[in-house]
Amino acid sequence: MNLLGIDVGGTDIDAGIVTETGELKETSSWKTPSTLVEFQGILMEIKEKFPVYHSVGVGVPGLWEEETQTIRFAPNIPFLQEARVGEVVREVFPGARIHNDATVATFGEAFFGNGRGLDNFLMVTLGTGIGGGFFLRSEVPTGARGFAWEVGHIRVNSMGVKCGCGSHGCWETEASVSALVRKYRERTGLSLTGREISKRAREGEKEAQEVFEDVGRWLGVGLASLINVLDPQAVILGGGLSLSFELLREPMLAFLEANSYVYRYSRPKIMPALLLKKAGVVGAAAYGWKGKG
């Protein structure tokens, strides 16, 4: 079975065919355009490249409103905000299912990743920002409008920096890749990528290790509240920062041990995602196959 997945990101649009066992057979990439007409042109090119498919799923950034099938808030892709995205996609792919990138990533882990076989789990994607989803008995409950699980915008630091959502001290200002990069720059004056900071920490650089300890502790702060609320069977961490899971693990677990009594009694397994780089396309394909809408 060919499951077509399309991942719309701030810099690239990736599309690919995934099998019903989660194997990514073929992918292609396009630069994210700046107009809706160009966007529809890319969708038509995707259809030409992958003409044989059983279902189509699309992951989009920002707040996806289910009833109107529009993105209500997407600061990284301004031309898609408030645009007729659902309509435009279905003119090319009738029956396509669309949702927020973190929701589709949750479906990806549920059907093709480390969430397979679980009744429920919390997914947290640690990228430029922090996204999330709670998988519960074959679906992700998405709230009144589709906006649920914006876990990155839980306020964790009342003294924290301003966030893109308009608030201050949100979880993603303390425990995302951007937070890691900012904290390292504040400490050393150097602007490095998350990957470079991770490499330095592994090589034993003290400043890099201390920044990872700080971010790992903040990761624990947000997870402590979420685990107390949800008592999930497992927590799956995706996104770029999950590649450095072992650098975050100890401070995260120490905070949970001391501050989440549900964690102490329930002991949910906390693990990195299986899909990682493929999460966007495979997640979208899983959502197209098993999602709602």
Residue numbers of the site for Zn ion (CB under 5 A)?
153, 163, 165, 167, 170
User: Which lies closer to Zn ion via its Cβ, residue 163 or residue 286?
Assistant: 163
β-strands 70-73, 120-126: how paired? unpaired
User: Which lies closer to Zn ion via its Cβ, residue 36 or residue 154?
Assistant: 154
β-strands 120-126, 234-238: how paired? parallel
Q: How far is CA 164 from the centre of its chain?
A: 16
Could you tell me which residues come within 8 angstroms of residue 97 by beta carbon, excluding any fewer than 6 positions away? 55, 56, 57, 58, 287, 288, 291, 292, 293
Read off the DSSP letter of residue 139. B
Min dist CB 240 to Zn ion, Å, is 19
Min dist CB 167 to Zn ion, Å, is 5
Task: Count Cβ atoms within 10 A of the Cβ of residue 120 and give its class: 0-12 exposed, 13-18 middle, 19 or more buried.
Answer: middle
Min dist CB 174 to Zn ion, Å, is 11
What phi and psi values does residue 35 have, to the nearest 5 degrees?
Answer: -135, 160
User: Which lies closer to Zn ion via its Cβ, residue 153 or residue 278?
Assistant: 153
Min dist CB 118 to Zn ion, Å, is 28
Contact predicate 122/134, CB 8 Å? yes
| Inter-CA distances, 256 with 8, 160, 259, Å | 34, 21, 5
User: Which lies closer to Zn ion via its Cβ, residue 8 or residue 163?
Assistant: 163
User: Which lies closer to Zn ion via its Cβ, residue 6 or residue 102?
Assistant: 102
Min dist CB 156 to Zn ion, Å, is 10
User: 272 - beta bridge partners?
Assistant: 237
Min dist CB 147 to Zn ion, Å, is 13
User: Which lies closer to Zn ion via its Cβ, residue 97 or residue 153?
Assistant: 153
Min dist CB 160 to Zn ion, Å, is 9
- What tokens appear for 103 in the block? 């929701």
| Inter-CA distances, 102 with 65, 85, 124, 264, Å | 14, 17, 8, 27
User: Which lies closer to Zn ion via its Cβ, residue 163 or residue 273?
Assistant: 163
